[in-house]
Amino acid sequence: MNVASRSVRAAALAAGALLAGACESGEVASVGAPTAARPTSVTVDPSSRYLYVANFKSNNISAYRIDVAAGALRAVAGSPFAAGTQPFSVTIVPSGRYAFVANQFSGNVSAYRIDAASGALQPVPGSPFPAGTRPFAVTVDPSGDFAYVANMGSSDVSAYRIDAATGKLSAVAGSPFRTAMLPRLVTVDAAGRFAYVAGNASHDVWAYRIDGASGALSLLPGSPFSAGRGALSVTLDARGRFAYVANPLANSISAYRVDGASGALLPVAGSPFSAGKFPSSVTVDPSGRFAYVANHFSNSVSAYRIDGDTGELIAVSGSPFAARTAPVSVSVDPSGLLAYVANRSSNDVSAYRIDALTGALKDVTGSPFAAGTDPGAVAIDPTGRFAYAANLRSNDVSSYAIDTDSGALRRR
C-alpha cells in the first residue's frame, strides 16, 4: 500500500470512528453478503485481486475476488471468515501475504494468511492475539516487520513483531505503550521511523520514535503536541514533511512541520486553519500539493493548496465545494486527478475532477452516483480502475468501474 493509499485509509478509518466491463453511468452493483451485518470498511489487497470487508455486527470478514477486467466481485470460497467481536477494518501487509483485523469488543487481533491463489483467509497459528481494550485498527509499518494497534478503551498502543514466515504476532518488549486519550489510529511515516497518535479526548498528538530493530516506541521530547478539540487522526504528506489533524469539535485543521531529524511536530504559522462544520478527516493528494477535508455537517469539501516550504494550508479558490448529505471522507485516485466522497445520509458518492494546477474540484458529469444505504468511505484499488463502498445499513458493497477519462462511476 503506497503512502497516498495510507493517507486515504487513515482518513476513512478516522471518519468511520465518528459513526459507530460494459457499464451504464450512474448505476451501482451491490454485492450481497447474506451472513454479514453492518459492513464498516472495504480493503483492496496490494495486487488488486482481492477485496475484504469487515462486518461489524456479524463478527466476520467477507472476501471477494476482483475481476481484473471489469472490477466485478465474486465471493471467495469459504467466505465469510470468522473474526472476533465487532471487527472494524482489515489491514493487509505490503507483501499481501497476511491480513490483520482489530476486534473492538473482544480486545484482540485476528491474523490470517492470505491464500495467493484463492484469496481465502487462513487463521495464523495462535490467532487471535491479545490487544488492549477496544482496539480500533491495525497499522503495519512500511517494512512489514511491525504492527501497531491503538486501543481506544485503554488509551495505549499495542506493538507487535510480525513473523515473516508465519504471520504470527509477538508483543514487542514494553508493549503496550501509553498514549493519548481515546486514540483511533497509529500513523507511521513512509520511512518507518516515527509514529503518531491523535487523542480524540485529550485533544493532542503523541509522537514516538520507532526502534528499527525491535519496533519499540519511545516518546519524543516535547510530546504530546497540542491539537484542537476532538482530534481524530494524523495524516502525513507523501514525503513525511507535514502533518495534519482534523479537529471536528473545533471546525479546524491543525498543521505541523515534521522535524526530519527528531520527528517532532512544529506548529505551522497560522495553524489551526478554518474548515467547515465537523471536519471528519484530512486527505493529502499523492503529489503532496493539495489537501481535502470532508465537512460532515456543512455538506461540503474544503480544498487547500499546501505551501511546499512551510506546510501552510491555503484555501483553493471556490472552496468549500458542495457535496451531498453528511460526507465522511475524501478518496483521491492514484493519478491525483479524481476525487470521490461517500455521502452517508444521501446514499450516494460525489465525484470530482481535480484541477492539476490549482487543486479545485469540478463535478464529474452524472455525479452524484447512487450507492447503497449509508455508504462509508470509498476505497479505490491500486490500479485506479475500480472503486468500492461498504454500505452500513443495506449490508452490501457498491462496486464501480471508474471511467479514467471522465471520472464517472459505472456499474459492472
In the chain, the number of structural domains is 1
Please give the Cα distance from 41 to 185 (Å, whole number). 15
Please give the Cα distance from 64 to 52 (Å, whole number). 6
CA gyration radius, the chain: 19
The pLDDT assigned to 385 comes to: 93
The pLDDT assigned to 412 comes to: 67
CB 338 within 8 A of CB 310: no
Domain that holds residue 236: 3-410
Strands (E), 223-334: 225-226, 234-236, 242-247, 252-258, 265-267, 273-274, 279-284, 290-295, 300-306, 313-315, 321-322, 327-332
| Nearest C-alpha neighbor of 329 from the set 367, 377, 273 | 377
CATH code, domain with 223? 2.130.10.10
Q: What predicted TM-score, i.e. pTM, was given to this entire model?
A: 0.91
CB 241 within 8 A of CB 229: no
Q: Which helix (H) or strand (E) holds 108?
A: strand 108-114
| Nearest C-alpha neighbor of 187 from the set 155, 248, 139, 151 | 139
Low-confidence ranges of the chain (pLDDT < 50): 1-5, 7, 10, 14, 17-35
The pLDDT assigned to 38 comes to: 84
The pLDDT assigned to 22 comes to: 26
Cα→Cα distances 384→110, 144, 388, 399, Å: 29, 23, 11, 13
| Nearest C-alpha neighbor of 380 from the set 327, 341, 322 | 341
Question: Going by C-beta distance under 8 Å and a sequence separation of 6 or more, which residues neighbour residue 406?
Answer: 364, 365
